[in-house]
Amino acid sequence: MNPRKRHFVITYFVIGAFLNSLLWANFSHTGASNSHNTALGTVNILDQKFKETFAVIHEVEAAGAESAQIKDFVDRLNLALNLTDQAEAGAILDQIKGEASQLHDAASLRSYYNKIFVFAMVPVAALIVTLCVHYALKKRQSKVERIMNLKIREKREAQNV
Amino acid sequence: MSEDKKRAVIIFASAFMIFAMLAYVAVTPLPKEKFFQLYALGDTKKAERYYPNNNTNLSTDTPVKWYLGTNNFMGSIQIAIIRVKLGNQTLVSPNETQATPAPLPILVEFRKVLLNNETWEFPFVWKIANITDVGNLAYLTLNINGAEKYIEEVGAKDGYNYRLVFELWTLDIESNEIVFGWKASNQRRAAWLQLWFNATR
Protein backbone atom coordinates (compact mmCIF):
# COMPACT_ATOMS: atom_id res chain seq x y z
CA MET A 1 0.00 0.00 0.00
CA ASN A 2 1.46 3.36 -0.99
CA PRO A 3 1.80 6.11 1.67
CA ARG A 4 -1.05 8.11 0.18
CA LYS A 5 -3.52 5.18 0.41
CA ARG A 6 -2.31 4.29 3.91
CA HIS A 7 -2.86 7.88 5.01
CA PHE A 8 -6.37 7.85 3.56
CA VAL A 9 -7.26 4.53 5.30
CA ILE A 10 -5.97 5.77 8.69
CA THR A 11 -7.96 9.01 8.38
CA TYR A 12 -11.07 7.01 7.40
CA PHE A 13 -10.79 4.74 10.46
CA VAL A 14 -10.14 7.61 12.89
CA ILE A 15 -13.20 9.51 11.64
CA GLY A 16 -15.31 6.32 11.59
CA ALA A 17 -14.34 5.45 15.18
CA PHE A 18 -15.18 8.97 16.31
CA LEU A 19 -18.61 8.84 14.64
CA ASN A 20 -19.36 5.41 16.11
CA SER A 21 -18.44 6.52 19.61
CA LEU A 22 -20.81 9.47 19.29
CA LEU A 23 -23.65 7.25 18.04
CA TRP A 24 -23.03 4.60 20.71
CA ALA A 25 -22.99 7.18 23.52
CA ASN A 26 -26.25 8.66 22.32
CA PHE A 27 -28.19 5.42 21.77
CA SER A 28 -26.95 3.75 24.97
CA HIS A 29 -28.32 6.75 26.88
CA THR A 30 -31.75 6.31 25.24
CA GLY A 31 -31.73 2.59 26.00
CA ALA A 32 -31.03 3.19 29.68
CA SER A 33 -33.86 5.67 30.04
CA ASN A 34 -36.32 3.28 28.38
CA SER A 35 -35.41 0.37 30.62
CA HIS A 36 -36.52 2.40 33.65
CA ASN A 37 -40.11 2.22 32.50
CA THR A 38 -40.60 -1.53 32.56
CA ALA A 39 -40.74 -2.42 36.27
CA LEU A 40 -44.39 -2.68 37.41
CA GLY A 41 -45.92 -3.67 40.72
CA THR A 42 -49.37 -4.98 41.57
CA VAL A 43 -52.41 -2.89 42.45
CA ASN A 44 -56.08 -3.19 41.62
CA ILE A 45 -57.03 -3.84 38.00
CA LEU A 46 -57.94 -0.31 36.84
CA ASP A 47 -55.04 1.33 38.69
CA GLN A 48 -52.65 -1.22 37.23
CA LYS A 49 -54.09 -0.72 33.77
CA PHE A 50 -53.86 3.05 34.19
CA LYS A 51 -50.24 2.87 35.31
CA GLU A 52 -49.34 0.55 32.42
CA THR A 53 -50.99 2.88 29.92
CA PHE A 54 -49.23 5.86 31.48
CA ALA A 55 -45.88 4.02 31.27
CA VAL A 56 -46.46 3.25 27.57
CA ILE A 57 -47.22 6.92 26.81
CA HIS A 58 -44.14 7.91 28.81
CA GLU A 59 -42.04 5.61 26.62
CA VAL A 60 -43.65 6.96 23.46
CA GLU A 61 -42.77 10.48 24.58
CA ALA A 62 -39.18 9.43 25.33
CA ALA A 63 -38.98 7.78 21.89
CA GLY A 64 -39.59 11.20 20.32
CA ALA A 65 -43.29 11.27 19.40
CA GLU A 66 -44.79 14.62 18.41
CA SER A 67 -46.19 16.76 21.21
CA ALA A 68 -49.64 16.94 19.55
CA GLN A 69 -49.91 13.15 19.66
CA ILE A 70 -48.81 13.06 23.31
CA LYS A 71 -51.35 15.78 24.16
CA ASP A 72 -54.11 13.72 22.55
CA PHE A 73 -53.15 10.68 24.65
CA VAL A 74 -52.94 12.75 27.84
CA ASP A 75 -56.38 14.30 27.21
CA ARG A 76 -57.91 10.85 26.82
CA LEU A 77 -56.00 9.56 29.84
CA ASN A 78 -57.48 12.40 31.92
CA LEU A 79 -60.92 11.56 30.55
CA ALA A 80 -60.49 7.96 31.73
CA LEU A 81 -59.18 9.19 35.09
CA ASN A 82 -62.35 11.18 35.73
CA LEU A 83 -64.85 8.55 34.61
CA THR A 84 -66.79 6.78 37.31
CA ASP A 85 -67.76 3.94 34.97
CA GLN A 86 -64.79 1.59 35.32
CA ALA A 87 -65.71 -0.49 32.26
CA GLU A 88 -65.78 2.60 30.04
CA ALA A 89 -62.54 3.87 31.56
CA GLY A 90 -60.93 0.46 30.99
CA ALA A 91 -62.01 0.46 27.34
CA ILE A 92 -60.49 3.93 26.80
CA LEU A 93 -57.25 2.83 28.46
CA ASP A 94 -57.06 -0.29 26.26
CA GLN A 95 -57.58 1.83 23.16
CA ILE A 96 -54.91 4.35 24.19
CA LYS A 97 -52.46 1.57 25.03
CA GLY A 98 -52.93 -0.09 21.63
CA GLU A 99 -52.47 3.16 19.71
CA ALA A 100 -49.51 4.22 21.86
CA SER A 101 -47.72 0.90 21.32
CA GLN A 102 -48.05 1.31 17.54
CA LEU A 103 -46.87 4.91 17.73
CA HIS A 104 -43.89 3.92 19.87
CA ASP A 105 -42.29 1.88 17.08
CA ALA A 106 -42.94 4.58 14.48
CA ALA A 107 -41.56 7.32 16.78
CA SER A 108 -38.46 5.27 17.64
CA LEU A 109 -37.78 4.58 13.97
CA ARG A 110 -38.32 8.20 12.99
CA SER A 111 -36.03 9.52 15.69
CA TYR A 112 -33.43 6.87 14.74
CA TYR A 113 -33.55 7.97 11.09
CA ASN A 114 -33.37 11.62 12.16
CA LYS A 115 -30.15 10.90 14.06
CA ILE A 116 -28.71 8.93 11.15
CA PHE A 117 -29.62 11.78 8.78
CA VAL A 118 -28.00 14.39 11.03
CA PHE A 119 -24.76 12.40 11.29
CA ALA A 120 -24.81 11.56 7.58
CA MET A 121 -24.96 15.28 6.83
CA VAL A 122 -21.68 15.85 8.69
CA PRO A 123 -19.31 14.74 5.88
CA VAL A 124 -21.51 16.43 3.28
CA ALA A 125 -21.37 19.75 5.14
CA ALA A 126 -17.63 19.34 5.72
CA LEU A 127 -17.12 18.69 2.00
CA ILE A 128 -19.14 21.77 1.01
CA VAL A 129 -17.13 23.93 3.41
CA THR A 130 -13.87 22.44 2.10
CA LEU A 131 -14.81 23.14 -1.53
CA CYS A 132 -15.93 26.69 -0.75
CA VAL A 133 -12.78 27.51 1.21
CA HIS A 134 -10.54 25.77 -1.34
CA TYR A 135 -11.95 27.66 -4.33
CA ALA A 136 -12.11 30.95 -2.42
CA LEU A 137 -8.43 30.62 -1.58
CA LYS A 138 -7.62 29.58 -5.13
CA LYS A 139 -9.45 32.59 -6.56
CA ARG A 140 -7.65 34.89 -4.16
CA GLN A 141 -4.33 33.28 -5.08
CA SER A 142 -4.94 33.67 -8.82
CA LYS A 143 -5.82 37.34 -8.30
CA VAL A 144 -2.56 37.89 -6.44
CA GLU A 145 -0.66 36.01 -9.17
CA ARG A 146 -2.33 38.15 -11.84
CA ILE A 147 -1.25 41.31 -10.06
CA MET A 148 2.25 39.95 -9.59
CA ASN A 149 2.47 39.11 -13.30
CA LEU A 150 1.58 42.60 -14.48
CA LYS A 151 4.19 44.26 -16.70
CA ILE A 152 4.98 47.93 -17.09
CA ARG A 153 4.15 49.25 -20.55
CA GLU A 154 4.32 52.64 -22.06
CA LYS A 155 1.08 54.43 -22.86
CA ARG A 156 0.17 54.48 -26.60
CA GLU A 157 -0.55 58.21 -26.51
CA ALA A 158 2.99 58.80 -25.30
CA GLN A 159 4.33 56.68 -28.17
CA ASN A 160 2.35 58.69 -30.72
CA VAL A 161 3.79 61.98 -29.35
CA MET B 1 0.82 15.58 -2.04
CA SER B 2 0.60 19.16 -3.30
CA GLU B 3 0.14 22.13 -0.96
CA ASP B 4 -3.43 22.61 -2.21
CA LYS B 5 -4.43 19.03 -1.40
CA LYS B 6 -2.80 19.14 2.03
CA ARG B 7 -4.68 22.31 2.82
CA ALA B 8 -7.98 20.79 1.58
CA VAL B 9 -7.51 17.71 3.78
CA ILE B 10 -6.83 19.86 6.85
CA ILE B 11 -9.90 22.02 6.16
CA PHE B 12 -12.06 18.92 5.61
CA ALA B 13 -10.87 17.26 8.84
CA SER B 14 -11.43 20.46 10.86
CA ALA B 15 -14.87 21.06 9.37
CA PHE B 16 -15.78 17.40 9.95
CA MET B 17 -14.88 17.59 13.63
CA ILE B 18 -16.83 20.82 14.12
CA PHE B 19 -19.94 19.54 12.32
CA ALA B 20 -19.76 16.19 14.19
CA MET B 21 -19.73 18.07 17.49
CA LEU B 22 -22.68 20.21 16.37
CA ALA B 23 -24.60 17.10 15.25
CA TYR B 24 -23.99 15.41 18.60
CA VAL B 25 -25.19 18.49 20.49
CA ALA B 26 -28.25 18.70 18.21
CA VAL B 27 -29.39 15.10 18.83
CA THR B 28 -28.55 14.97 22.55
CA PRO B 29 -31.18 16.52 24.84
CA LEU B 30 -29.80 19.07 27.29
CA PRO B 31 -29.93 17.97 30.93
CA LYS B 32 -32.37 20.20 32.80
CA GLU B 33 -33.36 20.47 36.43
CA LYS B 34 -36.52 18.43 37.05
CA PHE B 35 -39.04 19.72 39.53
CA PHE B 36 -42.68 20.51 40.35
CA GLN B 37 -44.15 23.68 41.78
CA LEU B 38 -47.15 23.68 44.12
CA TYR B 39 -49.02 26.82 45.07
CA ALA B 40 -52.21 28.13 46.62
CA LEU B 41 -53.75 31.51 45.80
CA GLY B 42 -56.56 33.54 47.32
CA ASP B 43 -59.93 34.22 45.68
CA THR B 44 -58.39 36.99 43.53
CA LYS B 45 -55.86 34.49 42.13
CA LYS B 46 -53.09 36.32 43.96
CA ALA B 47 -51.08 35.46 47.05
CA GLU B 48 -53.46 37.53 49.21
CA ARG B 49 -57.04 37.53 50.60
CA TYR B 50 -57.00 33.89 51.57
CA TYR B 51 -59.90 34.38 53.98
CA PRO B 52 -63.01 36.57 53.83
CA ASN B 53 -62.05 40.01 55.24
CA ASN B 54 -58.58 38.56 55.87
CA ASN B 55 -59.96 37.03 59.05
CA THR B 56 -58.67 33.55 59.85
CA ASN B 57 -61.48 33.00 62.38
CA LEU B 58 -64.04 31.17 60.30
CA SER B 59 -67.59 30.63 61.40
CA THR B 60 -69.78 27.85 60.05
CA ASP B 61 -71.08 28.24 56.48
CA THR B 62 -68.53 30.92 55.58
CA PRO B 63 -67.31 29.97 52.12
CA VAL B 64 -63.60 30.20 51.43
CA LYS B 65 -62.27 30.11 47.89
CA TRP B 66 -58.68 29.31 46.99
CA TYR B 67 -56.95 28.32 43.78
CA LEU B 68 -54.59 25.38 43.93
CA GLY B 69 -52.03 24.88 41.21
CA THR B 70 -49.04 22.87 40.19
CA ASN B 71 -46.48 23.15 37.37
CA ASN B 72 -44.76 20.17 35.81
CA PHE B 73 -41.12 20.88 34.94
CA MET B 74 -40.06 17.24 34.96
CA GLY B 75 -39.26 17.09 31.24
CA SER B 76 -41.95 14.46 30.56
CA ILE B 77 -45.61 13.71 31.25
CA GLN B 78 -46.41 13.15 34.92
CA ILE B 79 -49.36 12.20 37.11
CA ALA B 80 -49.88 14.88 39.74
CA ILE B 81 -52.00 14.12 42.79
CA ILE B 82 -52.80 16.85 45.30
CA ARG B 83 -53.92 15.40 48.63
CA VAL B 84 -55.73 17.68 51.04
CA LYS B 85 -55.40 16.82 54.72
CA LEU B 86 -56.66 18.36 57.94
CA GLY B 87 -54.24 18.90 60.81
CA ASN B 88 -53.99 20.76 64.07
CA GLN B 89 -51.15 22.40 65.96
CA THR B 90 -49.75 19.21 67.49
CA LEU B 91 -49.92 16.68 64.67
CA VAL B 92 -46.77 16.12 62.62
CA SER B 93 -46.17 18.04 59.38
CA PRO B 94 -44.76 16.52 56.18
CA ASN B 95 -40.98 16.19 56.16
CA GLU B 96 -39.29 17.59 53.07
CA THR B 97 -35.84 16.27 53.92
CA GLN B 98 -36.93 12.67 54.32
CA ALA B 99 -39.88 13.05 51.92
CA THR B 100 -42.37 11.61 54.38
CA PRO B 101 -46.00 12.74 54.22
CA ALA B 102 -47.99 14.02 57.19
CA PRO B 103 -49.83 11.24 59.09
CA LEU B 104 -53.11 13.11 58.74
CA PRO B 105 -56.50 12.05 57.40
CA ILE B 106 -57.03 12.70 53.68
CA LEU B 107 -60.09 14.85 53.05
CA VAL B 108 -59.99 14.81 49.28
CA GLU B 109 -57.53 14.27 46.46
CA PHE B 110 -57.28 15.75 42.99
CA ARG B 111 -55.55 13.88 40.16
CA LYS B 112 -54.46 14.87 36.68
CA VAL B 113 -51.98 13.76 34.05
CA LEU B 114 -49.84 16.77 33.12
CA LEU B 115 -47.84 17.42 29.98
CA ASN B 116 -44.30 18.72 30.33
CA ASN B 117 -44.34 22.45 31.25
CA GLU B 118 -48.10 22.31 31.87
CA THR B 119 -49.75 24.29 34.65
CA TRP B 120 -52.82 22.85 36.35
CA GLU B 121 -54.87 25.30 38.38
CA PHE B 122 -58.33 24.71 39.82
CA PRO B 123 -60.66 26.30 42.39
CA PHE B 124 -60.84 24.86 45.87
CA VAL B 125 -64.02 26.01 47.61
CA TRP B 126 -64.68 24.95 51.17
CA LYS B 127 -66.51 25.88 54.34
CA ILE B 128 -67.00 24.60 57.85
CA ALA B 129 -70.37 22.86 57.69
CA ASN B 130 -70.55 21.96 61.35
CA ILE B 131 -68.55 22.08 64.58
CA THR B 132 -69.01 19.23 67.06
CA ASP B 133 -67.72 19.67 70.62
CA VAL B 134 -66.39 16.66 72.49
CA GLY B 135 -65.08 17.85 75.86
CA ASN B 136 -62.97 20.93 75.12
CA LEU B 137 -62.06 19.69 71.66
CA ALA B 138 -63.86 20.81 68.53
CA TYR B 139 -64.31 18.42 65.60
CA LEU B 140 -65.16 19.67 62.14
CA THR B 141 -67.46 18.69 59.34
CA LEU B 142 -66.01 20.29 56.23
CA ASN B 143 -67.74 20.92 52.93
CA ILE B 144 -65.18 20.76 50.14
CA ASN B 145 -66.30 21.54 46.59
CA GLY B 146 -69.83 20.54 47.58
CA ALA B 147 -69.05 17.26 49.37
CA GLU B 148 -69.31 17.07 53.16
CA LYS B 149 -67.00 15.06 55.39
CA TYR B 150 -66.84 14.71 59.16
CA ILE B 151 -63.24 14.35 60.36
CA GLU B 152 -63.23 12.42 63.61
CA GLU B 153 -59.44 11.91 63.73
CA VAL B 154 -58.47 15.56 64.22
CA GLY B 155 -59.76 17.80 66.98
CA ALA B 156 -58.49 21.16 68.22
CA LYS B 157 -58.84 22.83 71.60
CA ASP B 158 -61.68 25.37 71.35
CA GLY B 159 -61.39 25.08 67.56
CA TYR B 160 -58.10 26.98 67.38
CA ASN B 161 -55.13 26.32 65.09
CA TYR B 162 -56.54 24.01 62.50
CA ARG B 163 -54.64 23.79 59.24
CA LEU B 164 -55.31 22.44 55.79
CA VAL B 165 -52.25 20.67 54.42
CA PHE B 166 -51.76 20.22 50.66
CA GLU B 167 -49.31 17.56 49.56
CA LEU B 168 -48.11 16.83 46.03
CA TRP B 169 -47.87 13.13 45.18
CA THR B 170 -46.72 11.63 41.88
CA LEU B 171 -46.47 8.27 40.16
CA ASP B 172 -42.93 6.93 40.36
CA ILE B 173 -42.51 4.92 37.15
CA GLU B 174 -39.55 2.91 38.44
CA SER B 175 -41.37 1.53 41.47
CA ASN B 176 -44.86 1.86 39.89
CA GLU B 177 -46.15 3.42 43.10
CA ILE B 178 -47.78 6.68 44.04
CA VAL B 179 -45.18 8.49 46.14
CA PHE B 180 -45.06 11.71 48.15
CA GLY B 181 -43.03 14.20 46.11
CA TRP B 182 -41.00 13.10 43.13
CA LYS B 183 -37.62 11.69 42.20
CA ALA B 184 -35.05 13.85 40.41
CA SER B 185 -31.39 12.90 39.90
CA ASN B 186 -31.88 9.88 42.21
CA GLN B 187 -33.05 12.17 45.02
CA ARG B 188 -36.52 12.41 46.49
CA ARG B 189 -38.01 15.90 46.59
CA ALA B 190 -41.28 17.03 48.09
CA ALA B 191 -43.65 19.99 47.88
CA TRP B 192 -46.37 20.81 50.38
CA LEU B 193 -48.31 23.80 51.73
CA GLN B 194 -50.40 24.57 54.76
CA LEU B 195 -52.95 27.27 55.58
CA TRP B 196 -54.07 27.89 59.17
CA PHE B 197 -57.52 28.81 60.43
CA ASN B 198 -59.64 28.87 63.59
CA ALA B 199 -63.14 27.42 63.74
CA THR B 200 -65.55 29.73 65.56
CA ARG B 201 -69.30 29.78 65.94
Map chain B to HEC letters: CCHHHHHHHHHHHHHHHHHHHHHHHHHCCCCCCCEEEEEEECCCCCCCCCCHHHCCEEECCCCEEEEEEEEEECCCCEEEEEEEEEECCCCCCCECCCCECCCCCEEEEEEEEECCCCEEEEEEEEEEEEEEEECCEEEEEEEECCEEEEEEEEEEECCCCEEEEEEEEEEECCCCEEEECEEECCEEECCEEEEEEEEEC
Asked whether B116 and B75 are in contact (CB, 8 A), the reply is yes
Q: Which of A62-71, A143-152, B158-167 has the lowest mean pLDDT?
A: A143-152
pLDDT value for A19: 55
Identity at A13, one-letter amino acid code: F
Asked whether residue B71 falls in the same domain as residue B90, the answer is yes
Average pLDDT, chain A: 78
Shortest Cα distance from B119 to chain A (angstroms)? 14
pLDDT digits (tens, 9 = 90+) for A87-106: 888 899 999 999 999 999 89
Identity at B29, one-letter amino acid code: P
> Which residue among A67, A71, A118 sits closest to B23, beta carbon to beta carbon?
A118
Asked whether residue B5 falls in the same domain as residue B48, the answer is no
- Rounded Cα–Cα distance for residues B79 and B121 (Å): 14
Q: Would the CB atoms of B113 and A61 count as touching at under 8 Å?
A: no
Q: Work out the angle between the directed axes of helices A3-35 and A45-62 (0-180°, nearest 10).
A: 160
Asked whether residue B10 falls in the same domain as residue B107, the answer is no
In three-state secondary structure terms, A2 is coil
- Residue A98 has a CB neighbour count (10 Å cut-off) of 12
Asked whether residue B103 falls in the same domain as residue B20, the answer is no
Handedness of CA B169, B170, B175, B177 (dihedral sign): positive
Asked whether residue B21 falls in the same domain as residue B119, the answer is no
- Rounded Cα–Cα distance for residues B189 and B119 (Å): 19
Q: What is the mean pLDDT of residues A136-156?
A: 85
| A to B CB pairs, distance under 8 Å | 94
Asked whether residue B172 falls in the same domain as residue B98, the answer is yes
Asked whether residue B138 falls in the same domain as residue B187, the answer is yes
pLDDT value for B184: 87
Asked whether B154 and B197 are in contact (CB, 8 A), the reply is no
Domains held by chain B: number: 2
pLDDT value for A148: 86
Nearest alpha carbon to residue B147 among B109, B112, B192: B109
Asked whether residue B81 falls in the same domain as residue B178, the answer is yes
Question: In which band, very low, low, confident or very high, does the pLDDT at A38 lie, cut at 50, 70 and 90?
Answer: very low
pLDDT value for A161: 53
Shortest Cα distance from A1 to chain B (angstroms)? 16
Q: Is B145 left (phi over 0), alpha (psi -120 to 50) or beta?
A: left
pLDDT value for A160: 58
Please give the residue range of the domain that contains residue B91.
35-200
Asked whether residue B7 falls in the same domain as residue B77, the answer is no
Name the DSSP class of A36: G
Asked whether residue B10 falls in the same domain as residue B60, the answer is no
Q: Which of A20-24, A65-69, A74-78, B84-88 has the lowest mean pLDDT?
A: A20-24
Asked whether residue B108 falls in the same domain as residue B169, the answer is yes
Shortest Cα distance from B152 to chain A (angstroms)? 27
Asked whether B79 and B170 are in contact (CB, 8 A), the reply is yes
- Residue A146 has a CB neighbour count (10 Å cut-off) of 9
For residue B188, give the CATH number of its domain: 2.60.40.10
Residues of A in contact with B176 (CB under 8 A): 39-41, 43, 51, 55
Q: Is the entire prediction scored with pTM above 0.80?
A: no
Asked whether residue B55 falls in the same domain as residue B127, the answer is yes
Name the DSSP class of A84: S
- Rounded Cα–Cα distance for residues B75 and B115 (Å): 9
Residues of B with CB under 8 A from a CB of A: 1, 4, 7-9, 11-13, 15-17, 19-20, 23-24, 26-28, 76-77, 79, 111-116, 171, 173-177
Q: Is A78 on the interface with B (CB under 8 A)?
A: yes
Identity at A8, one-letter amino acid code: F
pLDDT digits (tens, 9 = 90+) for A8-36: 566 665 666 655 554 454 444 333 333 33
Encode chain B (201 residues) as per-residue pLDDT tens digits: 688 888 899 999 999 999 999 999 998 888 889 999 999 999 999 999 999 999 999 999 999 999 999 999 999 999 999 999 999 999 999 998 889 999 999 999 999 999 999 999 999 999 999 999 998 899 999 999 999 999 999 999 999 999 999 999 999 988 888 999 999 888 899 999 999 999 997
Q: Would the CB atoms of A41 and B77 count as touching at under 8 Å?
A: no
